[in-house]
Chain A
Amino acid sequence: MGLGGSVTDVALRSENLRKVYRVKGAPPVEALAGVSLEVRRGERVALLGRNGAGKTTFLKIASTLLRPTSGRIQVFGYDVDQTPEKARPYIAVVPQEGKPFFHLTPREQVYTYLRARGIGRETAKARTEEALEKMGLLECANRLSITLSGGQRQRAMVATVIATEAPLLFLDEPTIGMDPFARRSVWESMRTLTRQGSTILLTTHYLDEAEALSHRLYIIERGRVLVAGTAEDLKRSVGGTVKVLLPGGAALVESFRTFGSCVTEGDALTIIVTPERLGEIMELAVRSKLMATVGPVTLEEAFLRVVGRSIDEN
């Protein structure tokens, strides 16, 4: 790790972490209601959740920028609340909606930040060039950031932080506004970083990103961990790994309900089933003179089901 830090395989651990925002004249808002999670060294873990679920609050506390109301949180064994100055050398953050300095070029932005973190000139120069290349920013590396597109600015922010090679990276919606090629460049850089020993905790609303990138994920809803596991675990938790789409099948929803979880959207019916029951469904679809499309359940669908179920219960 190179920082002389504590030897632990756990990069981040939170126990019953709570955060209540109190604003004068308004009722208190419980942003985190007891979040316990663990991220092991070298893992890429995604925090998923709706807007306002508590993801950014968690990242802010973990990155030493916000005090928790109660609970414990540690970075490489250091208590983030009690000894934040010991945790800080291990972390780097891509803030949500962060922007590079407009009157610096991406090259200056990355280099200046590395120097501010105490990295030597030569190393900083080399890492700057490497990060700019990885993020596809070499062509515009000498343009002022104010002249860059939104996606290029976001890439400059990600380049700034990945160049640190910090042991624990917090990325709050890191690929927002990026084109699909740029997003994949970021994903590849993250995979490389974790292969080299870094750990990544990211939030994202792109479920394909979470699936492609994360070893494990946590779904946060109303400040609580709703589900923890792999993307496959989450998909299995909704009752099947295969979905059958029946256009015009909404009217027959009761006939199909015994096979699995059913959702109607307009006149279409979607059923999530286990592969074993696929034959029976297809038979019934043929008898009902319905067209059927079969495909795998996506993480987004599983997410919608799991969070939707929680919303209904509440």
Chain B
Amino acid sequence: MATSMLVQGVLLIFVWILAPGLLGVAFVGAIIFSTFTMGQRVLNEAAYIRIDHKANDLYLAGPMSPEAYFLGMSTGILVVYLAPVVALGALAAAVVHFTLAQGLLLIALASVVWVFSASVGYVFSTFFRDNRAIWAYSSLFFNVFGVLPPVFYPFGLFPTPLHPVALLMPPSGAAAIAQMSLGITHLTSGELALAVGGLVVETVFVFLFAIYWARRTVRAD
């Protein structure tokens, strides 16, 4: 659990020392990044316990439905890793002084990002036949969705031509909306619509696809 907060913790300390004015951005990024990585752990865990422990054979050859297996595993991982994120949220509330509405919005955004990430993680976990391949893809998702786009840094610093791309990526889109709610970033109404629409549509689509995929892959061809 503690190692799950390593990246966020180190970044927060750096920001606190070097640019305390960006602490709000850093806390928003840390919380969204944390729920994103919790979702990505589903990729690692689902593939690992399927390949190494044959847990799919044990659980799916029984009355449990495939979608319950996917949701149970994702929620289980969420519960295990939630405590440090709650602590981070409490720290953020103390340092950044969120209003209730800002806090609730951040929780909602972080939750949606988790649903997106866990769904993507579960779907991709079914493609692996070998644990070694998981590490490479896991790192790729981690960097492409969490590190490169403006999750941890102000949205305005991201190259302008690429703003739509960042807004359409759920973690950076959610971070941009949260930064806007804190007054750190300005989004045009079109950009806001793109971020909200992208986040909702992509998350709903990916979640429904994960349910379909869980049913589809319960039996190998």
Is A88 in contact with B63, judged by CB distance below 8 angstroms?
yes
C-beta contact mask, B30-65 vs A, less than 8 Å → 1, else 0? 000000000000000000010011111111111111
Contacts of A164 in B (CB 8 A): 62
Is B220 part of the contact surface with A, judged by Cβ < 8 Å?
A: yes
Q: In whole angstroms, what is the CA distance A60 to B218 when docked?
A: 11
* Complex interface: stretch among A34-42, A113-121, A197-205: A113-121
Is A147 part of the contact surface with B, judged by Cβ < 8 Å?
A: no
Is B219 part of the contact surface with A, judged by Cβ < 8 Å?
A: yes
Contacts of A95 in B (CB 8 A): 54, 57-58
Is B63 in contact with A117, judged by CB distance below 8 angstroms?
yes
In the complex, what residue of chain A is closest to B221 when comparing beta carbons? Answer: A67
A-B CB pair tally, cutoff 8 Å = 72
Is A99 in contact with B72, judged by CB distance below 8 angstroms?
no
Known: A89-B63, A117-B64. A84 touches B219 (CB 8 A): yes
Contacts of A60 in B (CB 8 A): 57, 220
Select one of B52, B53, B65, B219 contacting A65, CB under 8 A: B219
- Interface on chain B toward A: helix, strand, loop, or mixed SS? loop
Q: In whole angstroms, what is the CA distance A157 to B58 when docked?
A: 9
A71: shortest Cβ distance to chain B, in Å?
Answer: 15
Contacts of A113 in B (CB 8 A): 58-59
Q: In whole angstroms, what is the CA distance A85 to B63 when docked?
A: 7
Q: In whole angstroms, what is the CA distance A60 to B55 when docked?
A: 14
Is A64 part of the contact surface with B, judged by Cβ < 8 Å?
A: yes
How many chain A residues have a CB neighbour from B under 8 Å?
A: 31
Is B62 in contact with A88, judged by CB distance below 8 angstroms?
yes
C-beta contact mask, A86-115 vs B, less than 8 Å → 1, else 0? 001101111111111100000000000100
Is A65 in contact with B60, judged by CB distance below 8 angstroms?
yes
Q: How many B residues are at the interface, by size bracket?
A: 20 to 34
Is A66 part of the contact surface with B, judged by Cβ < 8 Å?
A: yes
Is B61 in contact with A64, judged by CB distance below 8 angstroms?
yes
In the complex, what residue of chain B is closest to A97 when comparing beta carbons? Answer: B54
Q: In whole angstroms, what is the CA distance A110 to B55 when docked?
A: 13
Contacts of B58 in A (CB 8 A): 93-95, 98, 113, 157, 160-161
Known: A65-B219, A84-B219. A93 touches B64 (CB 8 A): no
Known: A65-B218, A66-B219, A113-B58. A101 touches B63 (CB 8 A): no
Is A152 part of the contact surface with B, judged by Cβ < 8 Å?
A: no
Is A93 in contact with B57, judged by CB distance below 8 angstroms?
yes
Q: In whole angstroms, what is the CA distance A276 to B219 when docked?
A: 53
User: Which positions 167-221 of chain B face chain A at CB distance < 8 Å?
Assistant: 218-221
Contacts of A98 in B (CB 8 A): 53-55, 57-58
Closest 9 CB pairs of A and B: A95-B57, A95-B54, A98-B54, A63-B61, A93-B61, A89-B63, A99-B53, A66-B220, A67-B219
Q: Report A's interface with B, CB cutoff 8 A.
A: 60, 63-67, 84-85, 88-89, 91-101, 113, 116-118, 157, 160-161, 164, 166, 170
Given contacts A65-B56, A88-B60, A95-B57, 7 further A-B contacts (CB under 8 A): A64-B218, A64-B219, A66-B219, A99-B53, A116-B64, A118-B64, A166-B62
A-B contact pairs, 23 of them (CB 8 A): A60-B57, A60-B220, A63-B61, A64-B219, A65-B220, A66-B219, A67-B221, A84-B219, A91-B61, A92-B62, A93-B61, A95-B57, A95-B58, A96-B54, A98-B53, A99-B54, A100-B53, A113-B58, A116-B59, A116-B72, A117-B62, A118-B63, A164-B62
